[in-house]
């Protein structure tokens, strides 16, 4: 019977494995590379009841379809076979066609159940993806009604999944507030492969910028993939803001640099002419007005340079608490009686590295702005505290890296600023004050000084809610060093020291030469670095001082100084500049043989600085006969 059955199945195209006993049948099932699709089992097998064999096979291969074959049919065995979910119950003798038909239908059922199991597994897998994907997913049916959504959709909208999937929401309800340009709100949601960018209002009122993509995946079924772009758009805005500020800074720095040369000429010529006039000469007052105006203009250029971060700073390790305490009394007089000033300084405040004068300017500018924002009085609070940032924080002006900082917080209860004002508040000459009431350089100066000091600046403000500035200055491990008082500069020494003057601006070079010669110095001048080196090599007299502009037409002041010192090793160096980014010529450089004269300068400032550099103990020039 076993051989006959195998022959019948092979003739019909089935691959079959035959076993004369239950034990051998179980072994074949265990060892098969592919579990059998159908098991044709006789109930009268030696060693094991056939229905027990059915149960054992099912444990090994649950998907296998079973056809019972028996020559001793009974109601009891038929019921047991039904309980085992056997596909058919055939009674011997059975016609081959009847047997094959049963096997074929069992095979069809096996294929069908296998496909259903695969579909269920696929659906489970897709469901897991649907529920765990980071983008929000909405599935809509007729008229855009939402029929399903994932947890990310609930998180994005701030609404429970049950509410989103209850059939009361359409996709246009969520994203139809503000449609793409030229389209009606909520139109075209069911169109496949559509891409929209919308503002989504969450349940709590927050607005998020989202990208919505629609794709049709079944009749009357559209999946909408929604990605939150809020952070990306904010970062793009921050980058654009940073690039705009950098461009404005470069322009401001360039204008200030060139303007400083003009102011130097105005200041020096005005002073020289004043000194030629008698005290009773009425023209002295006019020239004094010119000098006063040039000083005011110099103050404006300093603020422009501070904004563009090209101002020459004199940083030192300092105690912010000391700066705030020193300014407390002066600020009280500045803001008036109707503004209540509170200064809170944390104990054991860390040190920072900054220019004390510029830090005072930062506080002064913020306080003046706060005062003007509270015309009817209010509360102004200055707080200094130690803070530790655990992870980087992105903000409108850049990124605050993790680390230890001294936080200087200036808060007022004034009128506050709207978004349009906040977007431009650091731009030079931008001001909301009436004409004649301000230059618009106060906050741009704050911005530049903080950035140039390695700090970060954040602002919180809203109309009617006041303004708070947060200045984060990196912690300095060194101990603050008190600023030593500058000794008064004595009169110019009566010595004929030799000065090599290098300046590519003809007017300034001529003026500087005239001033130095009038003060008793021997002066050689050059318009370029190459000409200056040639003069140094040809000079029979040792050069005591190189007075050079930082930026020359063919080289830099530092490169010229380094090359000159190989020819004239005993020379002192004094740089002239309206701004510089070169740390090697910074005023706090440990090399005491070099100094810096900041443009614009007056005739007295020039001669005093030259005398100061030449009079340092390390170098005393020889007096020529």
- Could you report the per-residue pLDDT of 168-180, keeping only the tens digit for each? 888 888 875 444 4
Count CB atoms within 10 A of the CB of residue 620.
13
Long-range contacts of 42-47 (CB under 8 A, 24+ apart): 42/1, 42/69, 42/70, 43/68, 43/69, 43/70, 43/72, 43/77, 44/70, 44/71, 44/72, 45/21, 46/21, 46/22, 47/21, 47/22, 47/23
Mapped onto helix, strand or coil, the DSSP state of residue 343 is strand
Is 197 exposed, middle or buried (CB count within 10 Å of its CB: 0-12, 13-18, 19+)?
middle
For tokens 């003007």, name the residue: 372
Q: Would the pLDDT of 580 be above 70?
A: no
| Start-to-end CA span in the chain (Å) | 138
| Bridge partners, 343 (sequence order) | 382
Give which of 4, 23, 108 is closest to 65, Cα–Cα.
108
What is the per-residue pLDDT for 104? 92
For tokens 């407390």, name the residue: 328
Q: Which residues contact 187 (CB under 8 A, 6 or more apart)?
A: 179
Mapped onto helix, strand or coil, the DSSP state of residue 439 is coil
Structure confidence at residue 467 as a pLDDT band (50, 70, 90) = very high
Give which of 392, 422, 396 is closest to 237, Cα–Cα.
396
Mean pLDDT of all residues in 393-419? 87
What is the per-residue pLDDT for 43? 84
What is the per-residue pLDDT for 209? 86
Q: What is the pTM of this model?
A: 0.44
Annotate 166-212 with DSSP letters as a single string. Answer: SS--BHHHHH-SS--TTS-TTTTTTSTTEEEEEEEEPTTS-EEEEEE
Give which of 39, 84, 23, 35 is closest to 60, Cα–Cα.
35
- Domain architecture of the chain: domains with CATH: 2-129 (3.40.50.2300), 136-228 (3.30.450.20), 236-307 (1.10.287.130), 316-476 (3.30.565.10), 498-614 (3.40.50.2300)
Mean pLDDT of all residues in 265-280? 84
Tokens, residue 295: 């000083």
Tokens, residue 527: 């318009």
Annotate 406-418 with DSSP letters as a single string. Answer: EEEEEEE-S----
- Which of the residue ranges 137-146, 347-356, 535-544, 613-622 would you say has the lowest mean pLDDT? 613-622
Mean pLDDT of all residues in 54-68? 88
- Could you report the per-residue pLDDT of 509-560, keeping only the tens digit for each? 888 898 899 888 999 999 999 999 999 888 888 899 999 988 888 888 889 9
What is the per-residue pLDDT for 500? 94
- Which of the residue ranges 296-310, 516-530, 607-621 would you say has the lowest mean pLDDT? 296-310
The H or E element that residue 498 is part of is strand 498-502
Cβ proximity of 77 and 70 under 8 Å: yes
Structure confidence at residue 623 as a pLDDT band (50, 70, 90) = very low
Characterize the bridge pairing of strands 194-201 and 207-218. antiparallel
What is the per-residue pLDDT for 195? 55
The percentage of the chain sitting over the pLDDT mark of 70, rounded to a whole number, equals 82
Mean pLDDT of all residues in 163-191? 61
What is the per-residue pLDDT for 498? 92
What is the per-residue pLDDT for 190? 45
Mean pLDDT of all residues in 615-624? 53
Mean pLDDT of all residues in 245-254? 66
- Looking at 322-429, which runs of residues are DSSP E strands? 339-345, 351-354, 378-389, 393-395, 398-400, 403-412
What is the per-residue pLDDT for 423? 80
What is the per-residue pLDDT for 182? 36
What is the per-residue pLDDT for 550? 86
What is the per-residue pLDDT for 449? 79
What is the per-residue pLDDT for 196? 64
Cβ proximity of 350 and 476 under 8 Å: yes
- Find the length of the chain: 625
Give which of 363, 341, 367 is closest to 354, Cα–Cα.
363
> How far apart are the C-alpha atoms of 201 and 437, rounded to whole Å?
41
> How far apart are the C-alpha atoms of 494 and 473, rounded to whole Å?
46
- Could you report the per-residue pLDDT of 192-237, keeping only the tens digit for each? 445 567 888 888 888 888 888 888 877 778 888 888 888 888 777 7
Q: What is the dihedral of CA 110, 115, 117, 119, to 10 degrees?
A: -170
What is the per-residue pLDDT for 434? 61
Q: What is the mean pLDDT of the chain?
A: 80
Q: Would the pLDDT of 90 be above 90?
A: no
Output phi, psi for 428, to 5 deg. -60, 140
Cβ proximity of 589 and 312 under 8 Å: no
């Amino acid at each position: 019977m076993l051989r006959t059955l195998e022959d019948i199945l092979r003739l019909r195209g089935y691959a079959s494995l035959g076993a004369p006993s239950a034990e051998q049948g179980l072994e074949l099932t265990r060892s098969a590379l592919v579990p059998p699709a159908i098991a044709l089992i006789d109930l009268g097998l030696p060693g094991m009841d056939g229905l027990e064999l059915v149960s054992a096979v099912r444990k090994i291969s649950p998907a296998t379809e079973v056809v019972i074959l028996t020559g001793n049919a009974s109601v009891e065995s038929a019921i047991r076979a039904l309980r085992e979910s056997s596909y058919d119950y055939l009674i011997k003798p059975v016609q081959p066609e009847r047997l094959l038909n049963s096997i074929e239908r069992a095979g069809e059922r096996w294929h069908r159940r296998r496909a259903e199991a695969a579909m269920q597994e696929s659906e489970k897998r897709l469901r897991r993806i649907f529920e765990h994907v980071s983008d929000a997913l909405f599935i809509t049916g007729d008229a855009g009604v939402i029929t399903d959504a994932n947890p990310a959709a609930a998180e994005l909208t701030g609404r429970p999944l049950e509410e989103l999937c209850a059939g009361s929401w359409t996709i246009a309800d969520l994203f139809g507030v503000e449609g793409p340009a030229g389209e009606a709100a909520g139109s075209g949601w069911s169109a496949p492969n559509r891409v929209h960018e919308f503002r989504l209002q969450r349940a709590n009122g927050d607005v998020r910028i989202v990208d919505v993509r629609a794709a049709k995946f079944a009749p009357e079924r559209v999946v909408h993939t929604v990605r939150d772009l809020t952070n990306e758009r904010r970062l793009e805005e921050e980058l654009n803001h940073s690039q705009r500020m950098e461009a404005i800074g470069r322009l401001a720095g360039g204008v200030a640099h060139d303007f400083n040369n003009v102011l130097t000429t105005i200041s020096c010529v005005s002073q020289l002419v004043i000194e030629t006039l008698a005290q009773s000469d009425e023209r002295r007052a006019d020239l004094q007005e010119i000098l006063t105006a040039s000083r005011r203009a110099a103050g404006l250029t300093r603020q422009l340079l501070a904004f563009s971060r090209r101002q020459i700073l004199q940083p030192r390790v300092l105690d912010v608490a000391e700066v705030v305490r020193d300014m407390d009394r002066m600020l009280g007089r500045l803001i008036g009686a109707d503004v209540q000033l509170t200064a809170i300084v944390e104990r054991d405040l860390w040190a920072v590295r900054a220019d004390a004068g510029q830090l005072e300017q930062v506080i002064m500018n913020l306080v003046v702005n706060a005062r003007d924002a509270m015309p009817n009085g209010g509360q102004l609070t200055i707080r200094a505290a130690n803070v530790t940032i655990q992870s980087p924080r992105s903000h409108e002006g850049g990124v605050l890296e993790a680390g230890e900082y001294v936080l200087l917080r200036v808060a007022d209860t004034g009128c506050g600023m709207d978004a349009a004002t906040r977007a431009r508040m650091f731009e030079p000459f931008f001001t909301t004050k009436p004409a004649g009431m301000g230059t618009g350089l106060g906050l741009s100066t704050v911005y530049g000084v903080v950035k140039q000091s390695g700090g970060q600046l954040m602002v919180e403000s809203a109309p009617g809610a006041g303004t708070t500035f947060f200045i984060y200055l990196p912690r300095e491990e060194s101990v603050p060093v008190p600023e030593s008082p500058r000794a008064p500069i004595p009169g110019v020494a009566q010595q004929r020291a030799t000065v090599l003057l290098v300046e590519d601006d003809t007017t300034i070079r001529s003026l500087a030469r005239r001033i130095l010669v009038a003060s008793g110095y021997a002066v050689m001048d050059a318009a370029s670095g190459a000409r200056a080196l040639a003069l140094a090599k040809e000079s029979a007299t040792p050069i005591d001082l190189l007075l050079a502009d930082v930026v020359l037409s063919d080289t830099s002041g530092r490169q010229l100084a380094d090359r000159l010192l190989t020819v004239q090793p005993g020379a002192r160096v004094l740089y002239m500049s309206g701004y510089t980014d070169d740390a090697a010529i910074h005023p706090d450089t440990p090399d005491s043989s070099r100094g810096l004269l900041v443009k614009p300068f007056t005739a007295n400032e020039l001669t005093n600085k030259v005398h100061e550099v030449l009079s340092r103990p390390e170098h005393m020039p020889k007096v020529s006969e």
